[in-house]
Structure 1
Amino acid sequence: MSHSKQPIVVFGATGQQGGSVAAALLKAGWPVVALVRDPTSARALTLRAAGVELVQGSYADTDAIRTAMRGAYGVFSVQQSSPSGGVTDEEEVRFGISIADLAVEAGIAHLVYSSGGAVSETPTGMGHFDSKMRIEAHIRTLPIRSTIIRPVAFVDMLVMPGFGLDTGHFSFFMHPDQSIQLLAVEDIGKFVEPIFADPERFADQTFEIASDSVTGEDLGCLFSEAAGRPIRYARFSDEVLQESPFLAGLTALIDQGPLAGNADLDALRKINPAMQSVREWLAGAGRAPFLKALGASGTWEYDRG
């Protein structure tokens, strides 16, 4: 390809999504530039050792972002959202819009923005989804080739403390017979690299990305199989939902459909034939964190955001 020697600027490369994208781009032979706050951190040093060019700066540092984008072909843009506790919804919007505007200024040929699976043109009433809706809307007004992906819920989230794996009772958003689409974080880059590699095919598209669909009962069976002992599945109790407006809001979006996922898995498999099922993830990248979660108690701070 004529642009193959020009780099891709990856935001969030020391995190989950950006890290997955950087790894997939490097594997496919793309030069990668990453904006990092601390180039001496362990994750930054790992990126450097893998061949990533590091530029020190933050999302608020427009001069550093301009430096990172100089001479680049593409930009992968992702921001923290308010449930992380690191930014407000307004900060997320400001950073997302700024990166897109700077990409236009720099003459970037292709911008890929990672939004969220529950996002649409209709507000959800939850700030960290509606912030992404605003960034999406701004990107569509810009004179730049863009692709917007909407990752569904991460399968990696299932092994966080607080869902009850350590007790043998796993609780989550769905009723036992209700389905949800999930995405292995490792697969994100395997969807994004083909987008950069075939820009005409994906120009000005917006679509959800996922790698599997399971019911609550499926999760109980899969976890029992992986643990070698029974793991019972149940939806969050009414008491838990009443005590946590944030968790109740997410659960309502599952019931209404947006957060349950609407990705076309057959079409996605043509982009990434190796996308992982939950069973495959549990046997591979998820094996160690799953085993750790079986013995780790704790709570998830549902009300952040």
Structure 2
Amino acid sequence: MSDGKQRILVFGATGQQGGSVASALLAAGWRVRALVRDPASAKAAALRGAGVDLMQGGFADAALIRQAMEGVHGVFSVQPSSGQGPLLGLSDEEEERYGIGIADLAAEAGVRHLVYTSTAAIGNEPTGMGHFDTKARIEAHIRRLPITASIVRPVTFMEMLAMPGFGLNEGRFSFLLRRDQRMQVIAVEDIGRFVAAIFADPARFGGTTLEIAGDAVTGRELEALFSEAAGRPIAYARFPDDLLAADPFLGKLAALMDAGRLAGNADLQALRELNPGMLSLRSWLAGPGRKAFAAALGDAGKWDYGPA
């Protein structure tokens, strides 16, 4: 357990997963260091105000990363992938290079515990999608290193469901799963709580891969939950077949959903014992996700999650 003195280096602390992890670690009594590109940004200032030790740098700054790893107990590694769109993500090649590089530097520095965040879509066979398969190769590399490491594989983020472009502003919602198909989802807030629990118990979680989720819903249940949250009917339908055929990115995602690889296979009961307060989609819509969902109801913007 944390004694309130050990330090964790968190990558991506101004982003979704890294920010969630930094917050959860601070709440659990860890000291947190973060590598940020712009220490003057509002998000960096908020981290500093919360007590995070900031160092300016990026994924390509190997010398600075070595310096940031000096004296730390653990490292949380996340890289923005190409699947997050051209404004946020790295190329597939950069993601793989930086993910492997951070792991190598952590092993070199004698870091006691490395936690890497991957994706639930990974299996024994490649997916054919770069931003998934890069993570599989990073995972494989980490397992060969002389370091205590844990890998978390989050399922689809609840936050992604509240992005513009799915039709909520038109009283409908289109997505990848069929009406009676079930998929697991997770609130980004809970990723940090799971990672904090993993850092707190390296004897249990060292050398393990843990798929994490917070809820499971069908297309019909999405329709009911979104209608309830919106206070008016929201009709659900899978993306039309002609769209899936015309858009290779969405088509491959739909195929992975049908194959079960994107749907998620986390043990929700066991995860609830690890994180008793984990959010269901209903509780997320009523709480942390309420503002984003309300914005999506009135936002006619374009969905921008995948490559253009």
Q: TM-score, normalised by structure 2?
A: 0.97
The structural deviation recorded for 1:222 is 0.3
Q: Which among 273, 286, 298 is matched to residue 301 of structure 2? A: 298
Moved more, 205-214 or 117-126: 117-126
Asked if residue 151 in structure 1 is aligned to residue 154 in structure 2, the reply is yes
Q: Which residue of 2 aligns with 1:280?
A: 283
Cα distance in 1 between the residues matched to 2:148 and 2:306: 37
1:11-160 paired onto structure 2 within 5 Å: 11-84=11-84, 85=86, 86-160=89-163
Residues 14-67 of structure 1: CA deviation (Å, up to 9, x unaligned):
000000000000011100000000100110010000000001000000111111
The structural deviation recorded for 1:121 is 3.0
Cα distance in 1 between the residues matched to 2:307 and 2:173: 21
- 4+ residue runs over 3 A deviation: 1-4
Report the aligned-residue RMSD. Answer: 1.1
Q: Identity over aligned residues, as a percent? A: 64
Q: Give yes or no for contact 1:121–1:133 (8 Å, CA) kept in 2.
A: no
Amino acid across the alignment from 2:104: D
Q: Which residue of 2 aligns with 1:249?
A: 252
Amino acid across the alignment from 1:52: V
C-alpha change, 1:50 and 1:242, in structure 2 (3 Å) is: same
Cα distance in 2 between the residues matched to 1:64 and 1:131: 24
Q: Give yes or no for contact 1:247–1:302 (8 Å, CA) kept in 2.
A: no
User: Which segments of 5 or more consecutive residues in structure 1 lack a partner in the other structure?
Assistant: none
Give secondary structure in 2 for the equivalent of 1:117: coil
User: Which segments of 5 or more consecutive residues in structure 2 lack a partner in the other structure?
Assistant: none
Asked if residue 7 in structure 1 is aligned to residue 10 in structure 2, the reply is no
Residues 153-208 of structure 1: CA deviation (Å, up to 9, x unaligned):
00110110110000011000111000000000011111000101111010100021
Q: Which residue of 1 aligns with 2:210?
A: 207
Amino acid across the alignment from 1:192: V
Q: Give yes or no for contact 1:147–1:206 (8 Å, CA) kept in 2.
A: yes
The structural deviation recorded for 1:301 is 3.6
Residues 193-226 of structure 1: CA deviation (Å, up to 9, x unaligned):
0101111010100021000000000000000001
Amino acid across the alignment from 1:298: G
Aligned length: 305
Q: Which residue of 2 aligns with 1:227?
A: 230
1:182-201 paired onto structure 2 within 5 Å: 182-201=185-204
Q: TM-score, normalised by structure 1?
A: 0.98
C-alpha change, 1:274 and 1:15, in structure 2 (3 Å) is: same
Q: Which residue of 2 aligns with 1:236?
A: 239
